[in-house]
Structure 1
Amino acid sequence: MIARIWRAAATQDKAATYQHHFAARVVPHLKAIDGFSGASLLRREAGNGVELVALTLWRSLGSIRAFTGPDPARAVVDPEAQAMLTAFDATAANYEVVVDIGMDD
């Protein structure tokens, strides 16, 4: 399994708008991709704004390429989302999950 991590920042007001966008638009799109295994959006107050971290889980780098195209490190940020964010990474980090302990373990 591969964990993909992408970071962004937003104002207080726009962070809530982005959270809705992530749940209503991004997640349904990801669910349609073979190999997608889950997503979380993390939020923390940071200075005068909000830091957002998207964590998505994938079966393989090949399944990530179905989302990103040939470069699995490329961030995919549509123009609507870009308008909600004050900053965002142009790349995402992909990590091999080597230990995974669920709440039931």
Structure 2
Amino acid sequence: MILRTWSARATAEGADAYRRYFEGVLLAELRRQLGFQGAHLVAGGADGAPDRELMVLTFWESYEAIRAFAGEQLDAAVVEPEAQAVLTEFDRTVVHREVLAVGGP
């Protein structure tokens, strides 16, 4: 399994708007992708802080599945205009890591 990570920053209001976009739009699109295995949206910075760091973690079956979603430039971030509109800054690239083990309760 491959972990794909991407980071952005937003105001507190923008972070909430991005969460709604993530839950209402992005997850639906990702779920249509063959090889997609899950996603998390996490935030840094205290709730109520003036701005927050956002990180999207997506899990993929293979690099081929990522390529079908993101295109030939695997390291290029896919950030739709609707998402860009609520962010103050965002990474133009992503990082991939191989998942070696998975744990849980």
* TM-score, normalised via structure 2 length: 0.94
Structure 2 residue aligned with 1:66 = 68
Structure 2 residue aligned with 1:48 = 50
Structure 2: state its 5+ residue gaps. Answer: none
- How far apart in 2 are the matches of 1:102 and 1:28? 25
Find the partner of 2:83 among 58, 81, 95.
81
More displaced, 42-51 or 82-91? 42-51
Structure 1: state its 5+ residue gaps. Answer: none
Residue 13 of structure 2 aligns with an amino acid whose one-letter code is D
Q: Say what the alpha-carbon RMSD is for the aligned residues.
A: 1.1
Deviation at 1:100?
1.3
Give the match's secondary structure for 1:84. coil
- How far apart in 2 are the matches of 1:8 and 1:67? 20
* TM-score, normalised via structure 1 length: 0.94
Residue 21 of structure 2 aligns with an amino acid whose one-letter code is H
- Number of aligned residue pairs: 103
- How far apart in 2 are the matches of 1:21 and 1:14? 10
Deviation at 1:67?
0.9
Identity of aligned residues (%): 43
Q: Which runs of 4+ in 1 moved over 6 A?
A: none
